[in-house]
Chains A and B, each alone.
Chain A
Amino acid sequence: MIDFLSTIGRRVLGLFAIAGRLALFVARALSHCFRPPFYFRNIVQQFWTIGYNSLPVVGLTAVFTGAVLALQASVGFSKLTAPSAIPMLVVVSVTRELGPVLASLMVAGRVGAAIAAELGTMRVTEQIDALETLATNPMKYLVVPRVLAGLLMMPLLVLIADVIGVMGGFVVSSFILNLNESAYLINTINYLHTRDVVSGLVKAAVFGLIITLLGCFNGYNSRGGAQGVGAATTNAVVYASVLILFFDYFLTELFLTQ
């Protein structure tokens, strides 16, 4: 019984320790985002790898999300209401929820894992120590470019995902369900609200921060060779995914009560 309690106690303390270290890391990383010097070459490079290179994954996710929404909606509505209900359902769900959340989950798998693996390998092969001995702050050189790229590229990716998602719904509704094309577009515009899009983009920026910060945190603090890097990669993706869903709920609540 004592053993059992002490195990729980140790786990809880461990969790608080990790939460504390994560909070300190996040504070340090964000404060370095505002203090020079900046490594513009690295920043541009990360914009490219995190932003541009994620386009195919995000685009594919979006097109199928929009398409399946249209298909699912077609079952529930009568011939009369379908032409207006399907585009409304697609555009509202994609801009508010599915665009940011699904795109971010895909990017967490792609980018979060890559960041954790790269920084983790750099840690265990002493490359991060080498950076410090060469008078370069690894926070500024490695972490800041990735975090900035997550913060600024994720909303752009989600904006593109919104457009592609709506087009996915359009393709299914026009060519598979044979509904009127112009009615779809007009209804989409009628139900497209700035507030929905903006709330989705704010979510995207927060999720981008979560993905890159957790990737950096886990990679930066990885220990013990290949196994440590593997664990860091897994943790980066799992924690980021869970936190994305967690923050999605609270951000939604925040926007709905506004």
Chain B
Amino acid sequence: MTNSMTQAATAPKISVKGLKKSFGRKIVLDGFDIEIAKGESLVIIGGSGSGKSVFLKCLLGLIHPDAGSILVDGAEMANGNKGARERLRRKMGMLFQGGALFDSLTVWENVAFALNEGVGRRRIARAHSREIAVEKLNSVGLPEDVADLSPAELSGGMQKRVALARAIAPTPEILLFDEPTTGLDPIMADTINNLIVSSVQTLGATAISITHDMASARKIATRIAMLYQGKIIWEGSASEVENSGNPYVDQFVHGRSEGPIQLQVRAL
């Protein structure tokens, strides 16, 4: 532990080694390795059912991997005790695929949730947390009028924006995006991509996104990795992805139905 602490200054922000997870007989992650440097924006691409979401949930400590380690700032996430996991989790913000806004709360209460309810953070007065929430809403291009609406009254794209505002509100060091553009029209998708890029830059955060939308990947990523059958089979800079020379990556990037990648039948 002390050894890994002293290395933390030079070590990558997140280091994943030999991560394995299976559900029943179905192997989802099969020796997943990746290192992510501070301030980097990594996009993991891969087909549906390739284990992308499972990796994010392992990283958040929502799913316990069967084997392997996840080091965040040199501290163990995967096998650490509950308190350590919760401390690490406080460094992370997550944008869920469907937004996952709390529909029993108003928009501003959603955005300020971590400030109002989060354990271990200094609690602040509701009036002040509302101000912060409105500020965060403005930063994702939403006017103050939406603050008192309920999430169900908003369109899908607006919900995504609110969810993004909620993820960045506690100023996390690590931002995770689960298919941020799925289900959005191309214009709204581009808006969300721009917001992701600008909020990651403003926070100086390390970002990990998973997506199968190549337009989104090209826009967000500084580095792209491809996940196939539970392993990273290719990684490189965003510009290299077009001419990777890897038949799997080529098939995915160019969206061809014929190639080495076999279709995943069962959902995860």
Contacts and interface: CB of A to CB of B under 8 A. Distances in A.
A134 interface: yes
Contact of B121 (A39, A129, A135, A141): A135
A122 B100 CA distance: 8
A126 interface: yes
Nearest to B87: A135
Interface string B73-100: 0000000000000100110111011101
A180 interface: no
A127 interface: yes
A132 B102 contact: no
Contacts of B86: 135
Contacts of B120: 135
A126 B93 contact: no
A69 to B, nearest CB: 40
Contacts of A134: 113-114, 117-118, 166, 170
Interface size class of A (residues with CB under 8 A): 10 to 19
B100 A132 contact: no
Nearest to A45: B104
A242 to B, nearest CB: 30
Nearest to B63: A129
A39 B96 contact: no
B83 to A, nearest CB: 12
A37 B119 contact: yes
Contacts of A122: 102
Nearest to A118: B104
A133 interface: yes
Interface of A: 37, 39, 122, 125-127, 129-137, 141
Interface of B: 57, 60-62, 86, 89-90, 92-94, 96-98, 100-103, 113-114, 117-121, 166, 170
Closest 10 pairs between A and B when the two form their complex, measured CB to CB: A130-B100, A135-B118, A126-B100, A133-B94, A134-B114, A126-B96, A127-B100, A135-B90, A136-B117, A135-B119
